[in-house]
Amino acid sequence: MTAGGGMPSRTAPRLPGGRVPWLGHAAAFGRDPVAFLRRGRERMGGDFSFTLLGQPVVFLCGRPAHEAVFRADEAVLSPREAYRFMTPVFGPGVAYDAEPEEMSRQIGHLLPALTSRSLAGYARVMEEEAESHFAAWAERGEADLVEVMNDLTVAIATRCLFGTGFRERMGPGLPRLYHDLESGIRLAGLLSPRLPLPSFRRRDRARAALSATLVRVIAERRAAGPAGDEPQDVLAALMAARTPDGAPLPDETVTGLLIGMIFAGQHTSAVLAAWTGVLLLDDPVRVAALVREQEDAIERDAPLDVRALRRMERLEWCVREAERLHPPLVVLMRKALRDFRYGGRLVPAGTLVMVSPAVAHRQPEVFRDPDHYDPSRYGPGREEHACPYALIGFGGGKHRCVGMAFAYQQVKIIWSVLLRRFDLELATGPHVPDYSTLVPAPRAPCRVRYRRRCAPLVSVRLTEADR
Ligand code: HEM
């Protein structure tokens, strides 16, 4: 076997240990996937292979490997086969359960709801949700950052995706339903997402409840009249979308894509928002600079718009640095359907290929002093993120996250409101990731102490036309 007719391709060396037949390295990986992958790489001096629940895995790291994986032909490296465990969330025939061309078409239907014009509309919703959430805070007190960010991203995602009224309709159990959906992300899902596990049963119940209400909302909107009068939310965009032969999308596709977006985007955004705060609040001098930036970027009590957000450059660097140090998705996967070669490396057909934003973002050859929190690395003259396939918290290539701008905007708006309205300091620490889930938030307790600096912005009230 040769790569490009030159040197023979070599398979990645096998990580010693993990001798328990079939289980392989599952215990160590399950305990802390990032430490496991980092240690394995140090020990093996680069790429290596191991076994997870009977599945051969190869871990690849470094910009050339990321580029090769993200740009590989899907007939060779398949996200579909790697993410089969998501089928119960998206539903049959939707996203990863569809053929690659159909999945691209389906993702394409989401894009009109994620244009800069749509994002400008969501900015108002995001600000309103943040203002009304924090208006309920006392004059001073303490709050759990992970819980706050979770509540807020539930509220924002629900309104931007499903429109107004959905949250009230679902009642106070909605955050729990979103949380249960995520029970689909379990190592056991690699084996079969249909195993009779309690967490998988909760996932299926949550999906069924969301889907039943969504189908009713779709029917009501259809009965209410033409899409032009609909609020600007992702549901409206999907209802306006047409298949190649001009038919509306089937209800199962619309509900599957919406529920899939909640799954992909809500908790991940909450975790990014929590880490952004934990890291930026660690230094009062930095907080003072960020507050000054807010004062320069936006007139007191003016509504937040996209132009003001663009002026919050330092805040954006802080979000990026949180993405780098604590990416919400710690591993991304593809399944090799055929032998895959890049450089001198051979990955045999049948292998699960893993890359890890969490490991990749700590490479000293890519990021200077990589364990050090330093948002200015993205500033003029350094721009360490500009290097292709270096910062991969939102993936890369064809399957790069379509919700990245939405997520960044949301996190920036939440922190813009917090920084303008409150004096803040961490009440707990040091904070470490809770790797018991594959979307690791800061481990509890993760609390901030706050004192209100100025009154909540009451003038931000959306009119029907704004929505
Ligand atoms: C901090 C928040 C988020 C993070 C860290 C994140 C991360 C990612 C990553 C890494 C991928 C690529 C997966 C791969 O290649 O294996 C991805 C894909 C995707 N994300 Fe996000 N995401 C976030 C928020 C969102 C939001 C808010 C939405 C929806 C509005 C969303 C929708 C999607 C979709 C639909 C895909 C699949 C794209 C495709 O395969 O073509 N994500 N995301």
Q: Which pLDDT band holds residue 457 (cuts at 50, 70, 90)?
A: low
User: Is 63 contained in some domain?
Assistant: yes
Task: Tell how far the Cα of 341 is from the centroid of ligand 1, in angstroms.
Answer: 26
Q: Which string of DSSP letters, residue by residue, matches 119-180?
A: HHHHHHHHHHHHHHHHHTS-SEEEEEHHHHHHHHHHHHHHHHHH-TTHHHHHGGGHHHHHHH
3 state SS for 3-39: CCCCCECECCCECCCCCCCCCECHHHHHHCHHHHHHH
* Residues 51, 381 contacting (CB under 8 angstroms): no
Query: What residues pair up with 77 in beta bridges, in sequence order?
Result: 336
Q: What is the four-CA torsion angle of 269, 275, 281, 282, rounded to 10 degrees?
A: -170
Domain of 197 in residue numbering reads as 26-466
Q: Assess whether pLDDT exceeds 60 at residue 460.
A: no
Q: Which pLDDT band holds residue 146 (cuts at 50, 70, 90)?
A: very high
- Listed range (51-65, 113-127, 219-233, 319-333) with the worst mean pLDDT: 219-233
Report the chain's mean pLDDT, rounded to a whole number: 91
Q: Assess whether pLDDT exceeds 90 at residue 454.
A: no
pLDDT of residue 115: 93
At residue 450, the 3 state secondary structure works out as strand
Is the beta carbon of 256 within 6 A of some atom in ligand 1?
A: no
Mean pLDDT of 239-248: 93
Q: Assess whether pLDDT exceeds 50 at residue 4.
A: no
User: Is 10 contained in some domain?
Assistant: no
Which residue is it, tokens 């195993």? 195
Residue 254 and residue 21: Cα distance in Å, rounded? 42
pLDDT of residue 231: 47
pLDDT of residue 114: 94
Index of the ligand 1 atom closest to the CA of residue 407: 27
Query: What residues pair up with 447 in beta bridges, in sequence order?
Result: 144
Is the beta carbon of 184 within 6 A of some atom in ligand 1?
A: no
pLDDT of residue 2: 41
User: Is 443 contained in some domain?
Assistant: yes
Q: Which residues contact 345 (CB under 8 A, 6 or more apart)?
A: 3, 9, 10, 11, 12, 47, 60, 65
Q: Which pLDDT band holds residue 100 (cuts at 50, 70, 90)?
A: very high
User: Is 18 contained in some domain?
Assistant: no
Q: Assess whether pLDDT exceeds 70 at residue 461.
A: no
pLDDT of residue 84: 87
CATH number for the domain that contains residue 277: 1.10.630.10
Structure-model confidence comparison of residues 463 and 148, the more confident one: 148
User: Is 62 contained in some domain?
Assistant: yes
Q: Assess whether pLDDT exceeds 90 at residue 260.
A: yes
Q: Which pLDDT band holds residue 466 (cuts at 50, 70, 90)?
A: very low
Index of the ligand 1 atom closest to the CA of residue 398: 41
Index of the ligand 1 atom closest to the CA of residue 332: 16
At residue 249, the 3 state secondary structure works out as coil
User: Is 20 contained in some domain?
Assistant: no
Is the beta carbon of 95 within 6 A of some atom in ligand 1?
A: no
Residue 375 and residue 147: Cα distance in Å, rounded? 25
Q: Which pLDDT band holds residue 191 (cuts at 50, 70, 90)?
A: low
The per-residue pLDDT for range 392-424, each reduced to its tens digit, is 999 999 999 999 999 999 999 999 999 999 999
- Chain centroid to Cα 292, Å, comes to 29
Percent of the chain past pLDDT 90, that is, above it, reads 80
Q: What total of structural domains would you count in the chain?
A: 1
User: Is 8 contained in some domain?
Assistant: no
Mean pLDDT of 454-463: 51
Is the beta carbon of 324 within 6 A of some atom in ligand 1?
A: no
pLDDT of residue 37: 96
Q: What is the four-CA torsion angle of 417, 421, 425, 430, rounded to 10 degrees?
A: -10
Q: Assess whether pLDDT exceeds 70 at residue 467.
A: no
Helices (H) and strands (E) in the chain, counts: 18, 10
pLDDT of residue 188: 65
Index of the ligand 1 atom closest to the CA of residue 96: 40
User: Is 4 contained in some domain?
Assistant: no
Structure-model confidence comparison of residues 76 and 189, the more confident one: 76
Q: Assess whether pLDDT exceeds 50 at residue 229.
A: no
Given ligand 1 and candidates 401, 408, 410, which is best to mutate, with the most ligand atoms within 8 Å of its CB? Answer: 401
